[in-house]
Chains A and B, each alone.
Chain A
């Protein structure tokens, strides 16, 4: 059996694949946004110093990083409605179940990324902000978070890419994302290579776009007066100091 390019091309350009890709992107982006918000709160709880908050958030992170994402999806879609009657309604679709599952998982990972990003902001920064009369909330929003974002961008990009790939797990709860679309093509034609290859192309394109956007974003956070990365080099005649090394 040879690779039939026309089957591959028809699959690649079919509306099913496009809608599968859109669904995967939508699910991944929503799960990341909601997961980041939830993760930020968990990160604050973990560094709050309040014992019950630290314990609770620690347990959360332990559970949702510990369980396989596939198992969480199955629990959300199959097990939860048996225990909670409200989830048996029409509104609880595979998309909603997948979104809740991926959000809960991503919140655990994002909490750790955000916590370490907040910790890595130099202690002198909030100190200087407070000395200027900024309130704790103003200090967080105007001084600490912008610097933490810079540190969090690369690992967050990786997490978004992971989430995009995790959406394929939702095929087990019959969400019509990319992999389900490929599977249904395979099941009627037994053309594995062509249908899987078409799905692979979509994943690669999506991930490439994410990578490009991430590097654009990183350039925005170079904090220089010019746009080019080379601007981070000091100008001739200026003297730079190794600030980390001169701590008295």
Chain B
């Protein structure tokens, strides 16, 4: 058997998605090994966020495959044949994939602690007091132990995003997806969120990060992917990617964000 360090944890092949006549994702391929961090760059509308939503099973792909730890996602085995998974089956498969959104999307009617504990109790059926303990521990880990009883509206954007990270992390996903996690934040709040993400990477979390933070991609990513009009046009280690980008579009994009 091939050692798991070489086998990719997650692989995506020929993944495509259209909205009406507009083909947002034109059949992309890539894979990520356990413990790796991939940064994804690209202009808005290039298909980055759509790909994350497909991997998180929040939308159905038109074609292509997503395989996580040897299991094909989005399909269910029915009498030996692969068929589209039902919403319930998708809900079950989503447990292994964590997602952090640009707009945080914390639940405004719960304090930070219950935001983090909710899915533990009702999805993973963990006992209430154990879930709250685990949630408190996770809030400590993102540096918000003293904010656990605050409601989202009482927290800064940076704090809200850290709660959102804790909420995804507490379910112990095998891969964590970030959809422009700092784009909605004021400049002075970006750092605290990136710091949490860096410490996750250092702890060996497998992460796919759609971002415009070039510094973060340089420091943390094992590989950087460039999206353009629904395709991956460049894929390289950060040094090569930022040092000597091969594609003209990448050079032009980088000159604009720097």
Contacting B at CB under 8 A, from A110-144, are 122, 124-125, 127-136, 138, 142-143
Contact A134 B154 (CB under 8 A): no
Residues from chain B with a CB closer than 8 A to the CB of A234 are 154
Q: Which residue of A lies closest to B151 (CB)?
A: A223
Residue total for A at the interface (Cβ-Cβ under 8 A): 35
Contact of B44 among A136, A239, A248 (CB under 8 A): A248
Q: Please measure, in the bound complex, the distance between the C-alpha atom of A221 and the C-alpha atom of B183, giving whole angstroms.
A: 29
Contact B58 A223 (CB under 8 A): no
CB distance from B138 to the nearest CB of A (A): 13
Contact of A124 among B88, B101, B111 (CB under 8 A): B101
Is B122 among interface residues, defined by CB-CB distance under 8 A? yes
Residue total for B at the interface (Cβ-Cβ under 8 A): 49
Is A150 among interface residues, defined by CB-CB distance under 8 A? yes
| A-B contact list, 12 entries, CB within 8 Å | A124-B101, A127-B101, A132-B94, A135-B91, A138-B123, A224-B151, A224-B153, A225-B149, A225-B151, A240-B157, A243-B103, A247-B103
Q: Please measure, in the bound complex, the distance between the C-alpha atom of A133 and the C-alpha atom of B185, giving whole angstroms.
A: 26
Residues from chain A with a CB closer than 8 A to the CB of B158 are 239
Residues from chain A with a CB closer than 8 A to the CB of B92 are 133
Contact of A239 among B102, B167, B189 (CB under 8 A): B189
Residues from chain B with a CB closer than 8 A to the CB of A223 are 108-109, 151-153
Contact of A241 among B88, B122, B156 (CB under 8 A): B156
CB distance from B91 to the nearest CB of A (A): 5
Is A147 among interface residues, defined by CB-CB distance under 8 A? yes
Top 9 nearest A-B pairs (CB, nearest first) are A128-B105, A132-B119, A124-B105, A241-B157, A131-B99, A133-B123, A239-B156, A133-B95, A135-B91
Q: Please measure, in the bound complex, the distance between the C-alpha atom of A131 and the C-alpha atom of B123, giving whole angstroms.
A: 11
- Annotate A205-248 by CB proximity to B: 1 below 8 A, 0 otherwise: 00000000000000001011100000110110011110100111
Also in contact, A243 and B184, with CB within 8 A (given A125-B107, A130-B91, A135-B87): yes
Residues from chain B with a CB closer than 8 A to the CB of A155 are none
Is A146 among interface residues, defined by CB-CB distance under 8 A? yes
Is B15 among interface residues, defined by CB-CB distance under 8 A? no
Residues from chain B with a CB closer than 8 A to the CB of A138 are 122-123
Contact B171 A132 (CB under 8 A): yes
Contact A142 B151 (CB under 8 A): no
Given contacts A247-B103, A248-B183, 5 further A-B contacts (CB under 8 A): A127-B58, A131-B94, A132-B118, A240-B157, A243-B103
Q: Please measure, in the bound complex, the distance between the C-alpha atom of A147 and the C-alpha atom of B87, giving whole angstroms.
A: 22
Is B56 among interface residues, defined by CB-CB distance under 8 A? yes
Contact of B154 among A124, A147, A238, A247 (CB under 8 A): A238
Q: Please measure, in the bound complex, the distance between the C-alpha atom of A231 and the C-alpha atom of B111, giving whole angstroms.
A: 14
Residues from chain B with a CB closer than 8 A to the CB of A129 are 107
CB distance from A124 to the nearest CB of B (A): 4
Q: Please measure, in the bound complex, the distance between the C-alpha atom of A73 and the C-alpha atom of B44, giving whole angstroms.
A: 58
Contact A232 B123 (CB under 8 A): no
Of A125, A130, A147, most B-chain CB atoms within 10 Å: A130
Q: Please measure, in the bound complex, the distance between the C-alpha atom of A225 and the C-alpha atom of B105, giving whole angstroms.
A: 19
Is B186 among interface residues, defined by CB-CB distance under 8 A? yes
Residues from chain B with a CB closer than 8 A to the CB of A240 are 153, 156-157
Also in contact, A133 and B91, with CB within 8 A (given A223-B109, A223-B153): yes
- Interface residues, chain B, with chain A CB atoms under 8 Å away: 44, 56, 58, 87-88, 91-92, 94-95, 97-99, 101-109, 111, 118-119, 122-124, 149-159, 164, 167-168, 171, 180, 183-186, 188-189
Q: Which residue of B lies closest to A149 (CB)?
A: B109
Residues from chain B with a CB closer than 8 A to the CB of A246 are 103, 184
Contact of A132 among B109, B123, B154 (CB under 8 A): B123
Contact B153 A131 (CB under 8 A): no
Residues from chain A with a CB closer than 8 A to the CB of B95 are 133
Contact A241 B101 (CB under 8 A): no
Residues from chain A with a CB closer than 8 A to the CB of B107 are 125, 128-129, 143, 147
Q: Please measure, in the bound complex, the distance between the C-alpha atom of A142 and the C-alpha atom of B121, giving whole angstroms.
A: 12
CB distance from A239 to the nearest CB of B (A): 4
Q: Please measure, in the bound complex, the distance between the C-alpha atom of A127 and the C-alpha atom of B179, giving whole angstroms.
A: 13
Contact A134 B91 (CB under 8 A): yes
CB distance from A43 to the nearest CB of B (A): 20
Q: Please measure, in the bound complex, the distance between the C-alpha atom of A231 and the C-alpha atom of B151, giving whole angstroms.
A: 10
CB distance from A104 to the nearest CB of B (A): 32
Contacting B at CB under 8 A, from A1-44, are none
Q: Which residue of B lies closest to A146 (CB)?
A: B109
CB distance from A135 to the nearest CB of B (A): 5
Q: Which residue of B lies closest to A123 (CB)?
A: B105
Also in contact, A225 and B150, with CB within 8 A (given A130-B91, A239-B157): yes
Residues from chain A with a CB closer than 8 A to the CB of B189 are 239
